[in-house]
Amino acid sequence: METPEYEDLIDEDENEEPSATPLWKYATKISAQSSAKAPPRYVSPNYEKVRTTLLDREYNKVKKNFKPLMDDWDIYGLSMISDGFSNCKNQSFINVMAASEGKAMFLSAHDCSSIGRSGLNIAEILLKEIESIGPKKVVQVVTDNAANCKLAGSIERGNSPGYFGPDAYLTR
């Protein structure tokens, strides 16, 4: 299937600069062009199939692709990295990643809009992640230098022997 040229995606009647035009306008046009070229008997999957069967299948593919990296955690351990951020709607999140042998993967994101990003909440999230991975695999937990992260680190050090340091909490 041919990909549409960039110029084909710009409306002649729009006065907006291409760089200022929202990406969704281009994606919608590409989708419409692709749908027009689809085989006549093609039926796209329904909502239920997408959110169950197809999502599960894709999840299993991703999990399978990350399995070699996760198997290395038993040998080399991993660094757990956490940071907080807010989206454009000002909702507060904490994301958790794992890095080992120069490779990193996203583990989880936690919506903290209703509970806040206090030291206690951050510590609770990180301790749950450590437990789900296995405490013996986690070599260190890395956070930023914010006061709430320092408090989370002191709580972690109190709950898990072997943690120390203000920003990187070594566990082995």
DSSP track, 39-68: -TT--PPPHHHIIIIIHHHHHHHHHHHHHH
For residue 138 the two structure tokens come to 């986690």
Cα gap 34→71, rounded to integer Å: 40
- Which CATH number does 66-170 carry? 3.30.420
Q: What is the pLDDT of residue 172?
A: 46
Three-point CA angle 141, 147, 149, nearest 5°: 20
Whether residue 169 has pLDDT greater than 90:
no
| pLDDT single digits (tens) 15-63 | 545 555 566 666 666 666 666 666 777 778 888 888 899 999 998 999 8
Share of the chain above pLDDT 70, in %: 59
Distance between terminal CA atoms of the chain? 53
| pLDDT single digits (tens) 87-107 | 888 888 889 999 998 889 999
Q: Would you say the pTM of this structure is higher than 0.85?
A: no
Three-point CA angle 53, 59, 64, nearest 5°: 125
